[in-house]
Structure 1
Amino acid sequence: MSGIRDDDVAEKMERNNVDNDDDDIGHQVDDLFAKVEKLEQKVNEIEEFYLTSSKKQSVVSPKSLSAKDKEKVRHIPGIKKHQQETARREAAAAKRMQDIMRQFGSILRQITQHKFAWPFMQPVDVEGYGLRDYYEVIDRPMDFSTIKNQMEAKDGTGYKHVRDICSDVRLVFQNAMQYNDDKSNVYMMAKTLLEKFEEKWLQFLPRVTEEEKKRDEEEAEAQLNLQRSQEAARAKKARDLSNELYEADMRLEELRETVVKKCRKLSIEDKRNLGIALTQLCPEDLSKALDIVARHNPTFHSTAVEIDLDIDALSESTLWRLKYFVKDALKGHWIKNATIGVGSGSNNPVNITKTANITKTIASKRKKQICNALARTAKKQNQKHPS
């Protein structure tokens, strides 16, 4: 081929192969980082769960959760079993409460069979008695026939707790005492029956409190079981995430070793071009480049007021990381034709010094310091080796 040397062709082919390998490895790294980001989100969820648990020291019942939280809880292993146990427990508790309400019925029979009970057996005949102001005085009318109907209701609208029945029985007598004069017969009858009812209720109350205590204990045990189930599930998820993160870390390490093996050592020319490229970065990208150096060199402090950057002392992996970063940073910016390729040439004989001081007083001065250091080095080299 006229005008083209075989060495040039071989170098170009090698460069293309390296670029292809770079792209392939880059895609693998991108995939891994995408996976790590998802894993980090899961880790944050687990941390939030344990943080919330440690603050509340209790678990929230699924009944009180929002639709979004219920969807999360639904996927917790064991939650279905817990829900089934909750349904059985609530059904058993409801059956016991029905038995207590039936037992409470004996008190109602004693009260309703009393000779003073007849005014309270049916709803007040407001129109018949011409009680025009009755609904202005009484907010919620109540009578024993209404109580009985609600106790016998089968459509789910009936009483759920014996205390609700007790409250309505009191309301029957309290309404009568509120509307009627305290010297009237109805007032006296209502007061007498209310006192009798309270006496019988106090005798019956221990059965109610015993059932309520049992319910509370069962609910507390169920909540504890749910919390343990959630913690066990989160612990398993944390272990699985730890394994996945470890595998991702190992994969990244393998890729790093692959990159180091594939990449030959940067020549003096490569390092010189890398130094020139560093001066073309904006202050923000320059800070990121120095952070790369610091990340892989414990003795290098990128946040120091004054730092020493010795490119020749950097490891090959760090130099290649800088190369890729600078290449990406300059791509699409005002230096459209800047090339930080393997063995890329330059007419500028500038070479970065082994101890180029980069003053970090403010970000904008960094670039200026690097440029000055490069210029001084170029001048010295031109004096030693005049063209």
Structure 2
Amino acid sequence: MHLGNMSIEEAIDLGQGKVECNSDQVDVYKTKVDELITKVDKIEQRVNEVEQFYSNAKQNAKPKTSRSASIHKDKEKEKNIPSMKKLQLDASRRQAAAAKRMQDLMRQFGSIFRQMTQHKFAWPFMQPVDVEGLGLHDYYQIIDRPMDFSTIKNQMEAKDGTGYKHVREIYSDICLVFKNAMKYNGESSEVYAMAAKLLEKFEEKWLQFLPKVTDEEKKLEGEQAEAQKSLQLFQEAANVKMAWDIHDELQDISRQIEEFRENVQKNCRHISTLEKRNLGAALCNLRPEDLSKALDMVAQNDSNFQATAEEVELDLNAQSDATLWRLKFFVNDALKGRSNSRPDEGAAEKNDNNKNIATKRKREMCDVRAKTTKRKKKP
């Protein structure tokens, strides 16, 4: 990550004392670098959260606008976004109101249930089937879920939160009473006929009651959609605020790093002419991929330097001390890593193939050593 004119990597090198500074300053630099790295790590985590939110919301996004424009537009609306506390309070009130309406609906439906229980054909269904007393040894093999009117009544009157939550649950269990009886008993049996008759009457009454149920369900669906919309607005506002906070913090860290860079350069010694010559020679010994990385480092700090040009002339005298120190660290690490590694056959073959590719590049770079000394005046 780059902030200002200095990378985090460069700051680490400086803060760890790799650049030869006054010894009294090294511990101060280390502490400062640790603070900056900790801040940047935390910011990156929050950036990931914001990116994840917008990534998840992308499918439901309105016509595309730039992220910047979207953030500015949302920030203008931020004053009208309810707080999370208010959203939670509204949700609690909505749930309580919806539960009360459903309780009223189930009480109304209770009159239909009572009519079923008072019918002259209801007596076989009032209590659970006496499986053992009647010797119905295959009952549980045929009926997966037994049901009866007394069980339904107890569920309707339950006060401990274990009762029915929706009127459709009551409807389903009443239907199950009759369907179980019709499933276990043959069509020619009296119980089958009684269950079929009661089921027909019950379905008629249910169809008359159903519009009330659908109206309530539509109302609940609309409330849930509105609640989801409010929550989405809150989340958007929260992420917009986070994005602005991150922007401000990055600006502040960029300023701190720039001040840190200037302070480090002020207190660190300049790289010597001999060190520049050695650096130029070392650059010529880099592998092609490491050489490209080194040139990119220069280009990051020198807008006039073209790292990808066909012919590259690197004047080390024209580079800042910060760039030279960074190059020195990189070159030393690259050459040290190469000497410690043991190339296998495949790597050796690859290096042979790369030699021809790098020959011209290295030849062009070898004039770096000449440019580290004072240029001769043309006659």
TM-score (norm 1): 0.72
Q: Which runs of 5+ in 2 are unaligned?
A: 1-18, 63-81, 341-353, 375-379
Which structure's CA Rg is the greater one?
1
1:187 partnered with 2:192? yes
Q: What amino acid sits opposite 1:52 in the alignment?
A: N
Give, in whole Å, the separation in 2 of the partners of 1:207 and 1:261: 81
Question: 2:45 corresponds to which residue?
Answer: 41
Query: SS of 2:312's equivalent?
Result: strand
Q: CA deviation at 1:130?
A: 2.4
> In structure 2, do the counterparts of structure 1 residues 264 and 142 end up closer, same or farther at CA, with 3 Å as the change threshold?
closer
Q: CA deviation at 1:150?
A: 1.0
Give, in whole Å, the separation in 2 of the partners of 1:22 and 1:157: 68
Q: CA deviation at 1:103?
A: 0.4
Query: Is 1:151–1:158's contact at 8 Å kept on the other side of the alignment?
Result: yes
Q: What amino acid sits opposite 1:308 in the alignment?
A: E
Q: How well do the aligned residues superpose, as a CA RMSD in angstroms?
A: 3.5
Q: Identity across aligned pairs (percent)?
A: 59
The number of residue pairs the alignment matches comes to 323
- Determine which structure has greater relative contact order: mean sequence separation of CA pairs < 8 Å that are 6+ residues apart, divided by chain length: 2
TM-score (norm 2): 0.73
Query: Is 2:47–2:246's contact at 8 Å kept on the other side of the alignment?
Result: yes
Q: What amino acid sits opposite 1:33 in the alignment?
A: I
The one of 13, 29, 32 equivalent to 1:28 is 32
> In structure 2, do the counterparts of structure 1 residues 140 and 221 end up closer, same or farther at CA, with 3 Å as the change threshold?
same
Matches within 5 A, 1:202-221: 202-221=207-226
Matches within 5 A, 1:277-296: 277-279=282-284, 285-296=290-301
Deviation string, structure 1 residues 353-386 (Cα, Å, up to 9, x no partner): xxxxxxx9778658954785478x59x99xxxxx
Query: Is 1:174–1:190's contact at 8 Å kept on the other side of the alignment?
Result: yes
> In structure 2, do the counterparts of structure 1 residues 109 and 219 end up closer, same or farther at CA, with 3 Å as the change threshold?
same
Question: 1:91 corresponds to which residue?
Answer: 96
Matches within 5 A, 1:185-264: 185-262=190-267
Query: SS of 2:121's equivalent?
Result: coil
Query: Is 2:294–2:330's contact at 8 Å kept on the other side of the alignment?
Result: yes
> In structure 2, do the counterparts of structure 1 residues 35 and 366 end up closer, same or farther at CA, with 3 Å as the change threshold?
farther
> In structure 2, do the counterparts of structure 1 residues 26 and 327 end up closer, same or farther at CA, with 3 Å as the change threshold?
farther
Q: What amino acid sits opposite 2:57 in the alignment?
A: S
The one of 50, 53, 56 equivalent to 1:52 is 56
Query: Is 1:120–1:172's contact at 8 Å kept on the other side of the alignment?
Result: yes
Give, in whole Å, the separation in 2 of the partners of 1:215 and 1:98: 14
Query: Is 1:150–1:159's contact at 8 Å kept on the other side of the alignment?
Result: yes
Deviation string, structure 1 residues 44-78 (Cα, Å, up to 9, x no partner): 111111111222569xxxxxxxxxxxxxxxxxx94
Give, in whole Å, the separation in 2 of the partners of 1:32 and 1:316: 22
Q: CA deviation at 1:276?
A: 3.5
Q: What amino acid sits opposite 2:115 in the alignment?
A: Q
> In structure 2, do the counterparts of structure 1 residues 314 and 94 end up closer, same or farther at CA, with 3 Å as the change threshold?
same
